[in-house]
Structure 1
Amino acid sequence: MTLTFEVDPVVDSALRDGVLSLWADVTNAGGSVGFVPPVTPDDIRPALLKHLVAMTEGRTRLLVGRDEDGGIASTAFFTFNTHPLMTHWVWLYTVMVDPGRQGGGYGRDLMAAVEHTARTAEGFEAIEAIRLTCRGGTGVDGFYAKCGYKEVGRVPGAIRVAPGDDRDDIIMLLPLT
């Protein structure tokens, strides 16, 4: 089975609820997407609302991967820089794949769609790189490295998952030029 990717989908209740459900599932499966389990969609709703507001303001774009039934199986949010010296690269946030589909190539498919979007979608013409951060100790930095991203920085102990459990904040970059 393959995913179908869409940039800037219509934001309706089905999209909102699908992203909230995915986000909670990913978090509760141990994914490092801004929360620590256990969470519910209601716990995540304020963070999603911030993404949606940024989308309406034109600062953020959403890429979704839909399964064969049209359900949301993956996401990635691009955020454009507002600082005039940094408009040539975008941040990538909230990169998620349905935990039940992990290990089947969907993550690689999502990252290929991310790169394709940044290279070809309208509004991305001046973008020369994609930058993301990830939580150390999860192994996800190795996944991103396999997708072509290079570690360009690390802040030791910057992420406190729990008392006594501090993780590195790993900064990774994919040049597009």
Structure 2
Amino acid sequence: MPLTFTLDPPITPTLRDGILDLWTDVSHAGGAVGFVPTVTREDIRPELVRHFVQMAEGRTRLLVGHDEAGEVAATAFLTHNTHRLMTHWVWLYTAMVHPRHQGRGYGRDLLAAAADVARGIEGIRAIRLTCRGGHGLERFYASCGYKEVGRIPDAIRAAPGDDRDEVVMLLPLG
């Protein structure tokens, strides 16, 4: 059954907790979403609050995918670029699908829904994201239309002795 996507839903305690659970579970499953195991909800909470503040300021949009049980199953944050010469593209942050739903095409659905949101924002011509090398994510994003436009070797330290490339990806929107 497909996910039901909602753009900019009201931030309720249930939604907040659902995103915290999702982010924690994805991190524990090895997902490259800014944390590494064994992260806690309390470790993630300040980062989520930063996203919520940016939403309140009108700089970030939240896309949430709910599963058939109404649980938060996927998220992505689209953030406007604030540099005056780069306002024609947005950043895609924290795109994630719960591990129990992976392999069902929901990641592709999430990226397609995010692209639709971006296309609906006046003046936006592309989406940029970065991903952690070593997970094959760049192949997944490429299969969704993104192209690798940059790579910074060993920019991400996942753990002592485990440095990963930061891969910059771009999706032209039209």
TM-score bracket for the superposition, by shorter chain length: over 0.9
- Could you say what the CA RMSD is over the residues aligned between the two structures, in angstroms? 0.6
1:88 paired residue number: 88
Number of matched residues?
Answer: 174
1:48-127 residue pairs with structure 2 within 5 A? 48-120=48-120, 124-127=121-124
The 3-state SS of whatever aligns with 2:148 is: strand
**1:58-100 deviation per Cα after TM superposition (whole angstroms, max 9, x unaligned):** 1111000011122110000001011110000000000000101
1:26 paired residue number: 26
Aligned partner of 1:146: which letter?
A: S
1:142 paired residue number: 139
2:14 paired residue number: 14
1:129 paired residue number: 126
Please give the alpha-carbon distance, in whole angstroms, between the structure 2 residues aligned to 1:119 and 1:80: 13
Could you tell me which runs of 5 or more consecutive residues in structure 2 were left unpaired when the two chains were aligned.
none
Aligned partner of 1:170: which letter?
A: V
The 3-state SS of whatever aligns with 2:129 is: strand
How does the TM-score come out when normalised to structure 2?
0.98
Counting aligned pairs with the same residue, the percent is: 67
The 3-state SS of whatever aligns with 1:112 is: helix
Aligned partner of 1:68: which letter?
A: E
1:163 paired residue number: 160
Could you tell me which runs of 5 or more consecutive residues in structure 1 were left unpaired when the two chains were aligned.
none
> Which of 149, 152, 167 is residue 149 of structure 2 equivalent to?
152
Please give the alpha-carbon distance, in whole angstroms, between the structure 2 residues aligned to 1:12 and 1:101: 23
